[in-house]
Structures are given as structure tokens and as C-alpha cells.
Amino acid sequence: MRTKAVCILIVMLIAAFASSIGWAADDAKIVVMNPRGIQPEIRKIPMATRPATLDGKTVYIVDTKYPNTKPFVNELFAALQAKYPKTTWIVRDKIAGYMDDDPNLWKEIKSKGACAIVLLGH
């Protein structure tokens, strides 16, 4: 108990000494720059227009192969086929992950499909 009181007293004396000799904070102001720099303005891209009906259309379901999503993709495919029997549903896997481009798949969807559902995971 006595050592604790002595330690507290020593800390208080050091703080008082430091403030008297100028170790206290300086009143001068500094300028801080944002490390991200100047960000470009955000360009808003509107969502695609929805078709009035899916009857007779081809809709692609694109799986980006996020881990353990294949059972969900299969369930989604079965549910959509049951709910919209007049629509052609096609399931395709991307060649790589979400961030990697798959130009052949996008070309196929643009030429043969009316729209696409791209699954991202989570």
C-alpha cells in the first residue's frame, strides 16, 4: 500500500516538473493531409430496366463460385423453374471469382439472354 502511494506521488511530481519546463502540449496548430488524396466524384449508374414479364425470355443465373453456394444455386434454379415455367433458366459458372472478368460468358448472356442474376455470396 505504501509503495503504491509512493509511486503515485512520484508520477505526480514528474508531471508537475514536466509541465513547468515546457513538456506540455504546444499551442501551435499543424495541418494534416488526407492520405487518400482527392477522391474523384462518384458516378451513379442507374439499374437496368426490368422486363414487364419473364414469359418466353431466357434468364441466366451466374454463379461466381463463392464457397459453398452451389446448393443455394441449385435450390434457386429449381424454385424459379417451378414459379416461372414459361421462362427458360440457364445456370452458368464464371471462369473465376467475382472480380475476374469472363468476356465469353457476358457475350453469351448479351446475345442469348434477356437478363441475368449474378450471385455474389454472403
Residue-wise pLDDT tens digits, 51-109: 889 999 999 999 988 888 889 999 999 999 999 999 999 999 998 877 888 999 999 99
What pLDDT band is residue 20 in, cutting at 50, 70 and 90? low
Q: How far is CA 35 from CA 23, 28, 31, 38, in A?
A: 29, 22, 12, 9
2 domain residue, yes or no: no
How many structural domains comprise the chain? 1
74 domain residue, yes or no: yes
Q: What pTM was estimated for this model as a whole?
A: 0.61
pLDDT at position 25 is: 60
Q: How far apart are CA 67 and CA 5, in angstroms?
A: 59
pLDDT at position 34 is: 81
Q: Which of 121, 118, 117, 113 has its CA nearest to residue 58? A: 113
For residue 81, what are the domain limits? 58-119
26 domain residue, yes or no: no
pLDDT at position 40 is: 86
Q: Which of 14, 47, 69, 34 has its CA nearest to residue 115? A: 47
User: What does the DSSP assignment read for 64-120?
Assistant: ---TT-HHHHHHHHHHHHHH-TTSEEEEEE-SS-TTS--HHHHHHHHHH-SEEEEE-
